[in-house]
Structure 1
Amino acid sequence: MAPSKQGEVEPVILETTHVRPKKSDDDYAASGDGSSGNEQTGPGAPEVVGGDVDAVPEKKWRWLDYLTTKQFWIVLVLGQILALCITATNTFSGLLADEGTSIPAFQTFFNYVLLNAVYSGYTIYRYGFKKWGKLLLTDGWRYFILAFMDVEGNYFVVLAYRYTTILSAQLINFWAIVIVVIVSLIFLHVRYHLAQYLGILICVGGMGLLLASDHITGSNGGPSLDPLKGDLFALLGATFYGLSNCFEEFLVSKRPMYEVVGQLAFWGMLINGTQAGIFDRASFRTATWNGAVAGYIVGYTAMLFIFYSLAPLFFRLTSAAFFNISLLTGNFWGVVIGVQVFHLHIHWMYPIAFVLIILGHFAYYLTESVLGESKKPWLGAEQEGGVSGVGTARRRLENPDVIV
């Protein structure tokens, strides 16, 4: 997968013989067979993968090292933007349901189409049709698996809300965090610090307060149609979410972000389109179609597009685990939006829960080094096994002055 000259896209990471400092942007196209040490400069130059990095040594570890960096605050804000995007998509889904339009698979189809048009289009522009076609043949199976897990995660979680209460579905969504931690420990060789486990527990405790307040106020979805079936669907959806998060974090550490998003969208469009054609036909015929519905679908698609565009950068800067605990604040933002849109009332426990979750974010990175979780253990001591692009630790090792 690593380029060093214009040529073919390989399915594996190869090493080059030299890396020029300060040339590490995801605008660089991944092409070449890795057999030469020649480099190009300028906007058409390839993104660098592998090689001998003239790295700047990371400073000796101290408490609060990462919390004092600008990158941490960027990560904190970016996580809340992602949480707001998810909250907005949930809001638009609620508005669609109020209009009598419930087509969960079909409405997500537009997001994959838009992502594919933008990111696959740009990938083809960088690689050319021949190299893009070879990418499909050599690495397509990896991205198909990623897209399948992403599509099914979305589908089963939405399906769960038809049968069980919101409270039950949200409780089971904690399973995604468990899956991420287990997969990261076993397959990605991640070793969490005690402070990180503590941070996760604090965030989960904050989420527990949110759920408790929902139960007290009776806003947990009311009686369920089939609790067992709904809980099993939610559990399955959370499992797919956790697996897809870990796999995407792995892929974006080794490949350009535009390639990963483009391939995810390409295969996701095919899988989601097929699924929508099979399962959403009846709902599509009975759905309400008017100007408001069209506007809600546009808003839903726009928010998901932003989410899918920013998530790969977040995975590079942090981890799948921190990604999931960052999204826990989405419930709080959902109620804030609900006050204005659905005329809900904020329970007194909500602000406390939000502060608790944010404190968990700080606790999670209490003992991390200045590179935080952008330094991936599966890429080597100097990150030589990964791509040098925006948000990667390798880029910061090569260029100490950059922030991300």
Structure 2
Amino acid sequence: MSHQGSSNFYGKGDDVGPVTETAHVQPKDGSTSDYGSGNGQGVGHEAPELVHSELLDVEARSKGQWFSYVKTKQFWIVLALGQVLAICITSTNTLSQLLALEGNSIPAFQTFFNYVLLNVVFTSWTIYKYGFKKWGKLILKDGWRYFILAFCDVEGNYFVVLAYRYTTILSAQLINFWAIVVVVILSLIFLKVRYHITQFAGIIICIGGMGILFGSDHLTGNNQFPAQNQVKGDLFALLAASLYGLTNTLEEFLVSKRPVYEVLGQLAFWAMPINGVQAAIFDRTSFRNAVWNGKVGGYMTGYTLILSLFYSLAPLMFRLSSAAFFNISLLTGNFWGVAIGKHVFHFNIHWMYPIAFVLIIIGQVIYFCRQSMMAESVKPWLGESQEGGHAGLGTARKRVERPSAVV
């Protein structure tokens, strides 16, 4: 993935023309936030320049200090957001398992309505912000990037749902391990991210906590639904993890440079036809043989709504932290899965579960223990002052320009 982006087309009512990636979007109301927060004031005015310099000085002084980031409110927001995302993905995994048990395993069709909902919300908002003409220019100029993002995302969702048809829920959840490896490798090579040794230590501790969870599952017999074809299912899960790692890294890159509504809108816009064609080709037999009843309808509705919430919150996580931390946050999903499974599948909660959960959280704290005040919200590919990024909610540039912002 190239670091140099093509020209962007933003705004509405102005002459159509390229805007370099160092500029951020100025919506109609003057706000620079993706989520509709107050009006922003760009760098270039005298007062913001002074604040800009002071904030960067504080950021520079905090580098190398122990727990400087952990003491900030932003860290606790990131930590809590990671657990919300873990619960979301665990809920969708549980609903996928319930659908499979009901005889309704339609991998491509199952995720189609998620893209429809995201398209209705975010593409509509993008067109409102840009206008049809500039939205069309965006598709022609940068559509190929979003097509790649959408393709990897669709196939990742397809193969992870397909994995549940052949393997156990425990094996399918192992995808988080390989996704972390893929994200770290891609970030090192393409995004020039340089991880501190404490970050690797934090990842290893989190994985150790996940190992305790797996050991507990083995002792209690949780997550051990019969596998139709263990090897085939595990290979599908591994492929899904690889695609997810690529998707997460690319999405982190894009949301640091573009408005969230543009990225999610374009993701859904391209994913809908890709997903629809795939469903028409590969899911025809499964669709005809599927069981349809009120229970299945409820599972599908819940799956769509929760997955859409997950997609909407993930960009904020990518901006505040990184694709790597996003994935280690999801490692607690197995704990939440058993907590949910206690009521749904009658799982037993072993005494080692709370220990494993705490160990994963400790690993996440250690991951950030040597981070500066703004930690991973400062992206190395955006420049020293983040001048190459978009000033949206959760970005370091937003915080530089508007220090009073919530995060």
**Whole-Å separation in 2 of the counterparts to 1:48 and 1:125:** 22
Matches within 5 A, 1:77-116: 77-116=80-119
**Whole-Å separation in 1 of the counterparts to 2:230 and 2:153:** 24
Aligned-residue offset at 1:216? 2.1
**Whole-Å separation in 1 of the counterparts to 2:188 and 2:104:** 41
- Judge conservation of contact 1:203–1:360 (CA < 8 Å) in 2: yes
**Whole-Å separation in 1 of the counterparts to 2:19 and 2:143:** 9
- Judge conservation of contact 1:4–1:48 (CA < 8 Å) in 2: no
**Residue in structure 1 matched with residue 196 of structure 2 by the alignment:** 193
Are 1:380 and 2:379 an aligned pair?
no
Identity %: 65
Aligned-residue offset at 1:401? 2.2
**Whole-Å separation in 1 of the counterparts to 2:143 and 2:43:** 20
> Partner of 2:349: helix, strand, or coil?
coil
**Residue in structure 1 matched with residue 33 of structure 2 by the alignment:** 25
User: Which AA in structure 1 matches 2:275?
Assistant: N
Aligned-residue offset at 1:272? 0.9
**Whole-Å separation in 1 of the counterparts to 2:229 and 2:98:** 24
**Whole-Å separation in 2 of the counterparts to 1:285 and 1:210:** 38
Aligned-residue offset at 1:49? 9.9
User: Which AA in structure 2 matches 1:331?
Assistant: N
**Whole-Å separation in 1 of the counterparts to 2:255 and 2:223:** 36
- Alignment CA distance shift 1:48-1:141 (3 Å): farther
**Whole-Å separation in 2 of the counterparts to 1:313 and 1:27:** 10
User: Which AA in structure 1 matches 2:291?
Assistant: T
- Alignment CA distance shift 1:49-1:282 (3 Å): farther
> Partner of 2:142: helix, strand, or coil?
helix
> Partner of 1:68: helix, strand, or coil?
coil
- Alignment CA distance shift 1:128-1:317 (3 Å): same
Per-residue CA deviation, residues 140-176 of structure 1 (Å, 9 max, x unaligned), is 1000000011111111122223333444433354111
Structure 2: segments with no counterpart, 5+ residues: 1-7
- Judge conservation of contact 1:198–1:360 (CA < 8 Å) in 2: yes
Per-residue CA deviation, residues 96-123 of structure 1 (Å, 9 max, x unaligned), is 2232211121111000000000000110
- Judge conservation of contact 2:85–2:310 (CA < 8 Å) in 1: yes
- Alignment CA distance shift 1:339-1:2 (3 Å): same
- Alignment CA distance shift 1:286-1:10 (3 Å): farther
**Whole-Å separation in 1 of the counterparts to 2:249 and 2:19:** 19
Are 1:57 and 2:56 an aligned pair?
yes
Per-residue CA deviation, residues 201-232 of structure 1 (Å, 9 max, x unaligned), is 11100111111111222334355444433332
**Residue in structure 2 matched with residue 13 of structure 1 by the alignment:** 21
**Residue in structure 2 matched with residue 38 of structure 1 by the alignment:** none
**Whole-Å separation in 1 of the counterparts to 2:91 and 2:365:** 25
- Judge conservation of contact 1:3–1:49 (CA < 8 Å) in 2: no
User: Which AA in structure 1 matches 2:203?
Assistant: I
Matches within 5 A, 1:315-354: 315-354=318-357
- Judge conservation of contact 2:169–2:223 (CA < 8 Å) in 1: yes
Are 1:263 and 2:266 an aligned pair?
yes
**Residue in structure 2 matched with residue 237 of structure 1 by the alignment:** 240
- Judge conservation of contact 1:143–1:263 (CA < 8 Å) in 2: yes
Aligned-residue offset at 1:10? 3.9
**Whole-Å separation in 1 of the counterparts to 2:105 and 2:43:** 44
Q: Specify which of 166, 169, 172 is matched with residue 169 of structure 1.
A: 172
**Residue in structure 1 matched with residue 3 of structure 2 by the alignment:** none
**Residue in structure 2 matched with residue 135 of structure 1 by the alignment:** 138
**Whole-Å separation in 1 of the counterparts to 2:350 and 2:93:** 20
- Alignment CA distance shift 1:10-1:115 (3 Å): farther
Per-residue CA deviation, residues 376-395 of structure 1 (Å, 9 max, x unaligned), is 00000000000111100011
- Alignment CA distance shift 1:8-1:27 (3 Å): farther
Q: Specify which of 142, 153, 156 is matched with residue 153 of structure 1.
A: 156
Q: Specify which of 251, 256, 278 is matched with residue 253 of structure 1.
A: 256
**Residue in structure 2 matched with residue 37 of structure 1 by the alignment:** none
Are 1:221 and 2:224 an aligned pair?
yes
> Partner of 2:257: helix, strand, or coil?
coil
- Judge conservation of contact 1:3–1:48 (CA < 8 Å) in 2: no
**Whole-Å separation in 1 of the counterparts to 2:45 and 2:289:** 58
**Whole-Å separation in 2 of the counterparts to 1:109 and 1:337:** 25
- Judge conservation of contact 1:107–1:297 (CA < 8 Å) in 2: yes
- Alignment CA distance shift 1:101-1:11 (3 Å): farther
Question: Which of the pair is proportionally richer in helix?
Answer: 2
**Residue in structure 2 matched with residue 210 of structure 1 by the alignment:** 213
